[in-house]
Structure 1
Amino acid sequence: MTSHIAYDAYEALADGFAAKVDTKPHNAYYERPATLSLLPDVAGKRVLDAGCGPGAYAEWLLDRGATVSGFDASPSMIAHARKRTGGRAELRVHDISAPLDFVADASIDLVLSPLVLEYVMDWRPVLREFHRVLVPGGTLVVSLQHPFTDYTYFKSQAYFETELVFSEWTGFGGRVRVPCYRRSLTETLQPFLDAQFALSRVLEPKPTEEFRSADPRHYAELIAFPAFLCIRAEKVSARTTDGTNLQA
């Protein structure tokens, strides 16, 4: 049984999410263009889609020549992803907080993890696993809920704590209560450094013109204050106390 805190929520959301992921403005015209802008050329690269959802990113990667493996904690999401990718990707049900024991050391060129880490309380073990499976110099790209926006939205009274919070999602049909973890800016960035990643890009995205046309009200909000944060990082070797590199 999965320990993923949002398992029930995403099982309930899966059909609606899969149906709307290509047109819902926050996904199609905001988070996804920003995240894709951080990716290197993926042609011929081995990519791990960590938290693949219904397969929108996996399809994009496959269409550009990548070899894709991926996972999601929701069996219903994986079913949609398999249908969308037509058997071209190796996809499985797996909880991101568990070890990636099906991925060999230094076997992946790019790890992509969009809007997934907020469902994990402690990112450090997850990021260490990402570091392990990446080749030296490999790339990690993630998108996250913005810590400042979360602090405001959830009306937190304890900024420095990592808190379990809940929101009501209504944009994918019905009303679903979704849990996630809210954290400080330090706890958003420091775990990448602790896992021996070097940050190369930090992007606070702005909504696209397509977003303006589709949803003017939320466009006005997001052009003034971001909802998400996108990060690109590269795997670096661990260092000894005398500064020399160890094989990662």
Structure 2
Amino acid sequence: MTGLAVLDAGCGSGPLASALHERGARVTGLDASAAMVGLARRRLGQDADVRVGDLREPLPFDDGAFDLVVASLVLHYLQDWSGPLAELRRVLRPGGRVLVSVNHPGAYPIVYPRADYFALTEYSEDYTFAGQKAVLTFWHRPLSAMAEAFAGAGLRISTITEPSPTPDTPAELLPPMRGRAFIGFLFFVLEPA
């Protein structure tokens, strides 16, 4: 990671940006929430390059500005991926990679058994964070729609990973599981096509 220019697109409060910075990357963070950008600056230091920006808008960076673009658990909040993915591809240097993590689409029909897996569907869920209730709204899309969106942006999938919890993960941190299956997230490594 040393010396790599990295865009953390949807950086939130900055935990990933901080971990990448500690490994020697030159990290730029971007998030739509001014409050999250404030938390990220507090975590990374006031001199950190963390900006308010919406992935649904053109990104404020030059073509080919980054060696690596990370979009961790952010795309599933967006209805349309075409513009955001095209912009992530645009700011990627030749030979660079885009790393994407999203909610696993296979979890959706488990949680919502009457839902149409193949339909692009908006849904909301209630969460509690540090005693504060919040409603998060997501967009479910099937794996085939994800692959089509990547290809449409000029990106090809080089790796798909379905991580499982480590054996030492405390049970209270895991969602309720049916049987032994854990379907949480998908990770993609994307390269220019």
How does the TM-score come out when normalised to structure 2?
Answer: 0.92
Q: Report Cα offsets for 1:14-58 as digits up to 9, x if no partner.
A: xxxxxxxxxxxxxxxxxxxxxxxxxxxx21100000000001011
How far apart, CA to CA, are the structure 1 residues paired with 2:77 and 2:121? 11
Q: Is the 8 A contact 2:8 2:69 kept in 1?
A: yes
Return the structure number with greater strand share.
2
Q: Compared with structure 1, are the counterparts of its residues 217 and 129 closer, same or farther at alpha carbon in structure 2 (3 Å cutoff)? A: closer
Residue number in structure 2 paired with 1:8: none
Q: Compared with structure 1, are the counterparts of its residues 150 and 172 closer, same or farther at alpha carbon in structure 2 (3 Å cutoff)? A: farther
How far apart, CA to CA, are the structure 1 residues paired with 2:42 and 2:27? 14
2:126 is aligned with 1:168:
yes
Q: Compared with structure 1, are the counterparts of its residues 217 and 161 closer, same or farther at alpha carbon in structure 2 (3 Å cutoff)? A: closer
Letter in 2 for 1:173: G
Q: Compared with structure 1, are the counterparts of its residues 156 and 138 closer, same or farther at alpha carbon in structure 2 (3 Å cutoff)? A: farther
Residue number in structure 1 paired with 2:153: 195
2:67 is aligned with 1:135:
no
Residue number in structure 1 paired with 2:76: 118
Residue 183 of structure 2: which of 210, 226, 233 is its match? 226
Q: Larger relative contact order (C-alpha < 8 A, sep ≥ 6)?
A: 1
What displacement does 1:186 show?
1.1
Q: Report Cα offsets for 1:97-150 as digits up to 9, x if no partner.
A: 1110x1000111000011000111111111111111101111100110011102
Q: Is the 8 A contact 1:109 1:139 kept in 2?
A: yes
What displacement does 1:176 show?
1.2
Residue number in structure 1 paired with 2:46: 87
Instruction: Provide structure 2 residue ranges, at least 5 long, that are not aligned to the other structure.
Output: none
How far apart, CA to CA, are the structure 2 residues paired with 1:216 and 1:136? 39
- CA RMSD in angstroms comes to 1.9
SS at match of 1:70: strand
Letter in 1 for 2:148: Q
How far apart, CA to CA, are the structure 2 residues paired with 1:75 and 1:216? 28
Runs of 4+ in 1 over 4 A off after TM superposition: 219-223
Q: Is the 8 A contact 1:207 1:222 kept in 2?
A: no
Letter in 2 for 1:230: F
Q: Is the 8 A contact 2:108 2:117 kept in 1?
A: no
SS at match of 1:140: strand
Q: Report Cα offsets for 1:198-248 as digits up to 9, x if no partner.
A: 21110011012342x352764866951311111111123xxxxxxxxxxxx
Number of residue-to-residue matches in the alignment:
193
Residue number in structure 2 paired with 1:29: none
How far apart, CA to CA, are the structure 1 residues paired with 2:179 and 2:155? 29
Q: Compared with structure 1, are the counterparts of its residues 216 and 180 closer, same or farther at alpha carbon in structure 2 (3 Å cutoff)? A: closer
2:6 is aligned with 1:47:
yes
Letter in 1 for 2:165: P
Residue number in structure 2 paired with 1:207: 165
Residue number in structure 1 paired with 2:27: 68
Q: Compared with structure 1, are the counterparts of its residues 223 and 53 closer, same or farther at alpha carbon in structure 2 (3 Å cutoff)? A: farther
Report which stretch shifted further, 172-181 or 106-115: 172-181
SS at match of 1:175: strand
Q: Is the 8 A contact 2:107 2:184 kept in 1?
A: yes
